[in-house]
Amino acid sequence: MKFSTLSISLLATILSPLSGVNAFSVTPTVPTISAKSRTTTTLYVEPIMVKDGDDSLVVATTPSVKSGPTMESMATAIAPGIRLTGGEKLREEGLTGKGVKVGVIDDGIDAGHPGFEGKVVQQSWWHEGRGLSHGTHVAGTIHMMAPDADIYDYRALGQNGGSYEQIAEAVNEAVEDGCDIINMSLGGPGASYGLYRAIRNAHRKGVLIVCAAGNDGDNNPLTNENSYPANFRQAMSIAAVSKQDNLPTAWFSNTNAQVDYAGIGVDVISFKVGGGYMSNTGTSMACPHVCGFLTALLTKGGEYEDTIKDDASCRDLINDKFLIDIGREGEDRSTGLGYLTYLTKDEFELQFFDLPDYALLSAV
């Protein structure tokens, strides 16, 4: 049973940073943006639990691997993952996600974070209590990639997990709400027919589904680690790569024949509950880079509005214009067809690092 649906007007009252209270009486700290750099060497896994119909809980394959509060001041800098995915260039060319609705199905979003600038316009929650950290970080990346897009928050995961049924309900509601694209940085080892039907319905209606590939990888590209909904063919399965020369696949990233693309997923800086920034690592973090990029391409009145009509036309576009081949030459089980970015190969290498000699990217 869903607890409530919040309109933007209600959000302004309940989730105001000055009120100290957000939905369901969760009390965050007053949001602030720190100007000081903090680092940490501690890594730990924060599992997301998914309940598949019965009383047993299974650990989802897309937890985040946290790496501390914040690795650099974000008061003046742009997050490295945003730069590497072409966020600055997208904004310069007017591709900001204006008029696009993004559904984020996760553990909830701290809509009062000042970084969102009021762009979390609706919240539908199936859970109350603790949470929001993962979803806030995920949504923050999407917002930084496409700052004018409207974000719809579907809290289908709580502190004790959520069910595939609830996630399916969230997908269906996102479709009914008119979302153009849905981000799901979550998953589990078993397929749910109810969730499959919801995703199939969204796919048929032209909604783009972007999912984290999963964090059960064993650093062996010859083995299969499967996660759903990422492994459904109607979804884009996103692997994680590191911010290093040649964009190596993160050791934890799932490998299988269903992996489609890769995004930055290591030491990703994004929003922290209550204000400020923190660094997380996981395919959960790679997924919103790709989702935010596609959201920017969907900008109403933008160059690609009439080009992207559905999943197939979107893949045709990005495969032709915005893909860098990394890992093994050609399509591979670790990064799919390659790394997605709005930067040309020359722009990428000029600002960042070398890429494999066979890397191909068509200029915009």
Catalytic residues: 106, 134, 284
Per-residue b/e over 109-136, b at no fewer than 16 CB within 10 Å?
bbbbbebbeebbbbbbbbbbeebbbbbb
Tell whether the torsion through CA atoms of 137, 142, 148 and 153 is positive or negative: negative
List Cβ neighbours of 265 (8 Å cut-off, separation of 6 or more): 239, 240, 241, 242, 250, 253, 281, 282, 283, 284, 285, 286, 287, 289
Instruction: Give the C-alpha separation, 260 to 258, whole Å.
Output: 6
**Residue 17, Cβ neighbours under 10 Å: how many?**
18
Q: Which letter, b or e, does each residue of 148-162 get, where b requires 16 or more Cβ atoms within 10 Å of its Cβ?
A: bbbbbbbbbbbeebb
Distance CA 61, CA 326 (A): 23
The residue type found at 113 is: H
Of 254, 311, 262, nearest in space to 287 by CA: 262
Quick check: helix, strand or coil at residue 240? strand
Distance from C-alpha of 166 to C-alpha of 147, rounded to nearest angstrom: 28
What values do phi and psi take at 268, rounded to 5? -90, 125
For 85, the enclosing helix (H) or strand (E) is none
Cis peptide preceding 189, ω within 30 of 0: no
Q: Is the dihedral of CA 183, 187, 190, 195 positive or negative?
A: negative
Residues β-bridged to residue 103: 152, 182
Question: Residue type for 126, please?
Answer: W
